[in-house]
Copies of this chain bind each other. A is one copy, B any other.
Amino acid sequence: MTEMKSWVSSANGDTDFPIQNLPYGVFDDGRGARMGVAIGAMILDLGAVDHGLDPALLAEPAWNRVMEAGPQVWAQLRARLTELLSDEGHRAAVEPHLVAQSKSRMLMPFRVAEYTDFYAGKHHATNVGTMFRGAENALPANWLSVPIGYNGRASSVVVSGTPVTRPWGQVKGPDEDLPRFSPSQRFDIELEFGAIVGQPSQGMVSVAQADEMIFGYVLLNDWSARDIQAWEYVPLGPFQAKATATTISPWIVTRAALEPFRVGTPERERPLLPYLREPRPMNYQIDLEVALRPKSGAEYVISRSDTAYLYYSAAQQLAHHTTSGCAMRVGDLLGSGTISGADKDSRGSLLELSWGGKEPLELPDGQTRSFVEDGDTLTLRGAAKGDGYRIGFGDCAGQVLPAVELPDWAQE
């Protein structure tokens, strides 16, 4: 694999998208939304080349139909794309259908059926628990046994580049008697890894079956209003605090491309129930980073983490999701939970990086950050590092805009 090259020269250098990656997206270069494959600095316009798929699978600009077609079609397409983009013999036919990424806008790569967000970062759960309940009760009693999750809002999922408007909501300070309606003052990010369910299920599935159902992965930023969450979340969990936006990276990196980067989940402190045990490594080693760019100023990397910190793999989470008999559908999106490492500079949220605002983060230009400020652009990046290449995800970015003006009917 390390020696495989593409005839697309930009795919062979410093790029997220070498021939080993071939991630799937939807792009618009001014001539309409189409399905595409990233290769170096370019996008292959899939529908314009001899892709070997049933054309009905490309009838709408979204990867759901290809997912529905199943693992055999996924393998055939990947083999065909590898051939088209590595074999010089295809160059003449294919090269006219490469479009520059710099001249294209990326759109949502798939229709999100439903969105579930998990809580599988042990350092994150411990940090948050320590802040809210003290170090002795940091991890909830169920955490080492259950891949805790909650249902998020699919309508809130947006593609990288979409601006995010600071939300309004009910908040109540510890010294206040009554709640106020206010723009969130503790608006935050969460560094997560998203798994896309590519095959449906009805009834319980094993971890091995769950792994086979996963089509690919994206980076995911679960924007979170901590002040709204603190007031609303007892007893039924986060709701409006998490419904403003969830940003995903534009390229679906396939499970096949990540195969060489599998690692096991961390050693268990408590044995898992049999239905959650992994028959083989189902986690991944992927370098992650979070960058913050103030409205005016340079970008600054505020955290570096790794998907290998996750205590539960997406396959384990998906298997757990089905225990109740819950039907899973093509296009379901599963967020991993915030991925924080052990060190302070590997924390995946500003809540943790600023320790609830008590230790504001200092940026090199002298600014400080406890939470996200208007105009800030937050970007997640990630790449699995191979021998001489990397499998990257592209930027998962969003700029925060000021809260809207309060409508008349919401004023006192």
Identify the A interface with B (CB < 8 A): 113-114, 119, 140-142, 145-146, 148-156, 165, 167-170, 172, 178-181, 203-204, 206-208, 225, 228, 231-241, 243-245, 270, 273-275, 320-321, 323-329, 404, 407, 409-412
Contacts and interface: CB of A to CB of B under 8 A. Distances in A.
Q: Is chain A's binding surface mostly helix, strand, loop or mixed?
A: loop
Contacts of A275: 181, 409-410
Contacts of A238: 236-237
User: Which among A231, A273, A325 has the greatest number of chain B C-beta atoms within 10 A?
Assistant: A325
B236 A142 contact: no
User: Which among A140, A146, A324 has the greatest number of chain B C-beta atoms within 10 A?
Assistant: A324
Contacts of A206: 407, 409-410
Nearest to A275: B410
Nearest to A177: B270
Contacts of A321: 240, 243
Contacts of A146: 170, 179, 231-232
A140 B236 CA distance: 10
Contacts of A156: 326-327
14 contacts: A142-B170, A145-B178, A149-B239, A153-B326, A155-B326, A155-B327, A168-B325, A170-B323, A179-B273, A181-B275, A203-B404, A240-B321, A241-B324, A274-B412
B237 A235 contact: yes
A240 B152 contact: no
Contacts of A274: 181, 409-412
Given A178-B145, A228-B324, A274-B409, A155 B244 contact: no
Contact of A243 (B172, B241, B326, B411): B326
A270 B170 CA distance: 15
User: Which among A152, A232, A404 has the greatest number of chain B C-beta atoms within 10 A?
Assistant: A232
Given A155-B328, A170-B323, A181-B274, 10 more contacts: A145-B179, A148-B232, A150-B237, A156-B326, A181-B323, A204-B404, A208-B409, A233-B237, A243-B321, A275-B410
Given A114-B153, A146-B231, A208-B409, A167 B324 contact: yes
A235 B236 contact: no
A371 to B, nearest CB: 16
A50 B273 CA distance: 59
A142 B179 contact: yes
Contacts of A140: 234-235
A273 B329 contact: no
A351 to B, nearest CB: 14
A323 B168 contact: yes
The 6 closest A-B CB pairs, nearest first, are A237-B237, A243-B326, A151-B151, A275-B410, A240-B324, A150-B236
B168 A324 contact: yes
Contacts of A273: 170, 179-181, 410
Contacts of A326: 153, 155-156, 240, 243-244
